[in-house]
């Protein structure tokens, strides 16, 4: 079974731009969560989607948004990029059948200049 895939793997943007990252979960998984990883703050939860609905949201500003499609693929968008948004953005999927664990993709490395 293929793992979680994320595109693109690397991205360079400038301040003020917006960016869209994509995540394809493991086949059959319906829950997708997004995390931001930085050296200073570590791994921080952004939001979780299940059946195209956002079920939980972390403490990030409204510039961070996401959505999930009917095939469970998910995108996250960051508008008006700031230097501090430079990070590794990780997507994780789970099937939600009972006691489930999350499996991570390789991440998208975003650099904001």
Residue number, 43 or 113, with CB nearest to another protein: 43
Burial (Cβ within 10 Å: 0-12, 13-18, ≥19) of residue 37: middle
Residue 43 binds another protein (CB under 8 A): yes
- Binding segment for another protein (CB under 8 A), chosen from 11-19, 61-69, 75-83, 102-110, is 102-110
Q: Closest Cα to residue 104, out of 32, 20, 9?
A: 32
Of the residues 4, 19, 76, 112, which one makes contact with another protein according to CB under 8 A: 4
Distance CA 36, CA 33 (A): 10
Residues 76 and 66 sit within 8 Å (Cβ to Cβ): yes
The residues binding another protein (CB under 8 A) are 4, 6, 31, 33, 35, 41-45, 48, 50, 55-56, 58-59, 88, 90, 92, 94, 96, 99-107, 109
């Amino acid at each position: 079974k293929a793992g979680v895939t994320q595109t693109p793997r690397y991205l360079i943007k400038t301040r003020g731009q917006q960016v869209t990252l994509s995540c394809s979960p493991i086949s059959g998984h319906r829950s997708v969560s997004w995390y931001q990883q930085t050296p200073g703050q570590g791994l921080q939860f952004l939001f979780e989607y299940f059946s195209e609905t956002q079920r939980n949201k972390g403490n990030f500003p409204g510039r961070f948004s996401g959505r999930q499609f009917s095939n469970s693929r998910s995108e996250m968008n960051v508008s008006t990029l700031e230097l501090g948004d430079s990070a590794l953005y990780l997507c994780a999927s789970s099937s939600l059948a009972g006691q489930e664990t999350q499996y991570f993709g390789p991440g998208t490395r975003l650099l904001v200049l």
